[in-house]
Amino acid sequence: MEVKMLFYKFVIFHVIFLLTLACSSDSYRTYDLESDKVCSQSPKFISRRISTGSDGLIVRETSYFDHWSGKYSFTCKFEVETGHKSQFPGLFVVIQRLHLRKDPVTGNCLDYVKIRPVDKDVISEISHINFNLKRNKYPWQYFCGDLRARRDGVQADVRQQDPEGLAVTGFLSDEEPVVEVEVYVSKTPAFNETLELEIAFTPFTQCKSMWSEYKACASSRCIKKQSFNDGVVNCPFLDCPDEDGCGINLIVDDSLPPGLRTKVTVTAVTSIFCSFFLFLGCIWCCRYFEL
């Protein structure tokens, strides 16, 4: 009898643990722009490199620009790499939200984010630090103005050529598993303007070598199934294919971690089921042990 009771306790404990884990999991690594892991104080010729893991990575500005004095220009350089380069040969980059200024007369970018793939380098691969010892052959792709992934993901980017059709909020590194990012804010004071930045980096694999946990984001490129319909646009192609299309009205709280920005109905239903099963488990325990 005592062994049986211990067994039931063991099962109940692990069921509750797994339910709690399933209800609270967040697959994205999230870094603030002002973090030392992103905008480090290293010399300018050194670029720090951060990894997406196998799921994804979010880099966002939270409150740093709110206190921007404009006395000096702001420059931040960093690199993002896929977690397992043999499995994930490339990166999707999607601007979730961005508000950086343009010159009202010329239309040129006063502030910008620019992105490009990084050439393979043995030293960088080992140290995860790019010393910029060789010239990068890839051109920069600039982003500025006012961009939202769900609003502007229906507009094609004519600067980038891809058979699937890239959105103006997207960038694709198909040949290299590492991208270089530079954020620049000019010293021109931002009067009555709020500067914003949030970028999602998602590793992709070739669909021909995918497992059951992967789903096609395009005809030949797959990402993890859990990245679909999670409130974050991961696929850089037209019409937000991983979110059932762009322009869908969602209630999104920007103060939440990106992985928790799911559809309200899905979140509510999930919470109800988790609470219901936990409640049944507690009732069963009380009756079984006559508490």
CA–CA separation, 178 vs 130, rounded Å?
A: 11
Query: Is beta strand 29-32 parallel, antiparallel or unpaired with respect to 57-60?
Result: parallel
What pTM value is reported for the model? 0.76
Q: What is the pLDDT of residue 167?
A: 96
CA atoms 268, 273, 274, 276: torsion sign: positive
Distance (Å, rounded) from C-alpha 84 to C-alpha 195?
A: 33
Q: What is the CA angle 98-263-275, rounded to 5?
A: 135
How does pLDDT run along the chain (291 residues), one tens digit per residue?
554 454 455 444 444 444 444 443 457 899 999 888 898 766 666 778 899 988 899 999 988 787 766 778 899 999 999 988 888 999 999 999 999 999 989 999 999 999 999 987 666 666 556 666 667 889 999 999 999 999 999 999 988 777 789 999 999 999 899 999 999 999 887 777 889 999 999 999 988 755 678 999 988 899 999 999 999 999 999 999 999 999 754 444 454 455 544 444 344 434 555 466 666 765 665 566 666
Provide the token pair at 13: 């404990």
pLDDT value at position 261? 47
Q: What is the structure's pLDDT at 15? A: 42
Residue whose entry in the numeric block shows the structure tokens 């005592």? 2
275 phi, psi to nearest 5 deg:
-65, -40
Q: Strands 47-51 and 74-81: what pairing?
A: parallel
The confidence score (pLDDT) of residue 136 equals 80
Walk across the sheet containing 112-117 and list its strands: 129-130, 47-51, 74-81, 178-185, 112-117, 141-143
Closest CA to 178 of 48, 58, 44, 41: 48
- For residue 48, CA distances in Å to 94, 123, 269 come to 20, 13, 41
Phi, psi (deg, nearest 5) at residue 221:
-125, 130
Q: Residues in the chain, how many?
A: 291
Residue 90 CB coordination number (10 Å): 21
Torsional sign, CA 69, 70, 72, 74:
positive
Structure tokens at 161: 């050529």
Question: Would you list the domain boundaries of the chain?
Answer: 26-126+134-227, 256-290
In the beta sheet, which residues pair with residue 181? 78, 115
Answer CATH for 26-126+134-227 from 3.40.1160.10, 3.40.50.1980, 2.60.120.290, 1.10.300.10 = 2.60.120.290
Could you give the CA distance from residue 51 to residue 232 in angstroms, rounded to a whole number? 18
Please, what sign has the CA dihedral across residues 150, 155, 160, 164? positive
| Residue 64 pLDDT | 79
Beta strands at 74-81 and 178-185: parallel, antiparallel or unpaired: antiparallel
Given a contact cutoff of 8 angstroms between Cβ atoms, the answer to whether 220 and 147 are in contact is: no
